[in-house]
Amino acid sequence: MRILVVEDEKKTASFVRKALQAEGFAVDVCHGGDEALAAAAATPFDVLVLDIMLPGRDGLSVLRQLRERQNRTPVLLLSARGEVNERVEGLNMGADDYLPKPFDLVELVARVRALTRRTADNKSTVLRVADLTLDTLTRQARRGGADIELTAREYRLLEFLMRSAGRLCGRMMILEKVWDYGFDPGTNLVDVYIKRLREKIDADFEPKLLQTVRGMGYLLKEPS
């Protein structure tokens, strides 16, 4: 986990760097806004600790530039006493958290750690049930090392079933979540799609993962 600390007060920057390093983070320090933008463009950081008041380009301007460049790195803003408007503006611009000065280093470390956990969660985009995987970024399904081609609707159905793995999914619930229907169209739509999906993910593989619970719905799970 790599953290960028942007703080022009050298003493504060040094304290923060040491506290984060003591917790096992790799830490880079910048003392100015332009320097911070250059560093963030060159290196993927897991969290930015960004002081609002900086000489030249200030922290809010850095944040705005980052988000305009589609950089979604979690940002913890540091704000001086009284910078309430700046703090609110920062949150509106996509900062993830803020800490007013003076702050306790223990609290800063805890907030940074919470933000790194969020990054880790966002990075895990692959759903898995037994040897069936579904990458929700690339929308690629795989089983037993083979790519499985899905239509858009089949993808939505499989994603829903995998996110609900181990839980019974009724037909009505599937219609709502996969087709956005708030009513039962009185067709066998769901059953037809389940059959197609089953041919793709289960027919050539063992064990069978997509189970029918007669009269109730469907269940995707690894048989125990």
Nearer to Ca ion, 63 or 178 (CB): 63
Cα angle 49, 52, 53; round to 5 = 125
As measured in angstroms, the least distance from the Cβ of 7 to Ca ion is 6
As measured in angstroms, the least distance from the Cβ of 80 to Ca ion is 7
Nearer to Ca ion, 105 or 126 (CB): 105
Nearer to Ca ion, 85 or 224 (CB): 85
Nearer to Ca ion, 7 or 159 (CB): 7
> SS3 sequence, 114-129?
HHHHHHHHHHCCEEEE
Answer positive or negative: Cα dihedral of 46, 52, 57, 61.
Answer: positive
Nearer to Ca ion, 9 or 176 (CB): 9
Instruction: Report the distance separating Cα 164 and Cα 68, nearest Å.
Output: 35
Edge-first strand listing for the sheet containing 97-100 = 26-30, 2-6, 47-51, 75-79, 97-100
As measured in angstroms, the least distance from the Cβ of 51 to Ca ion is 4
Instruction: Report the distance separating Cα 178 and Cα 159, nearest Å.
Output: 9
As measured in angstroms, the least distance from the Cβ of 99 to Ca ion is 13
DSSP codes of every residue in 160-172: HHHHTTTS-EEHH
99: buried, middle or exposed (CB in 10 Å: 19+, 13-18, 0-12)?
middle
Residues pairing with 20 in the sheet: none
Nearer to Ca ion, 56 or 144 (CB): 56
Instruction: Report the distance separating Cα 63 and Cα 97, nearest Å.
Output: 12
As measured in angstroms, the least distance from the Cβ of 48 to Ca ion is 14
Binding site for Ca ion (CB under 5 A): 8, 51, 53
Residue least distant from Ca ion (Cβ): 53
As measured in angstroms, the least distance from the Cβ of 82 to Ca ion is 13
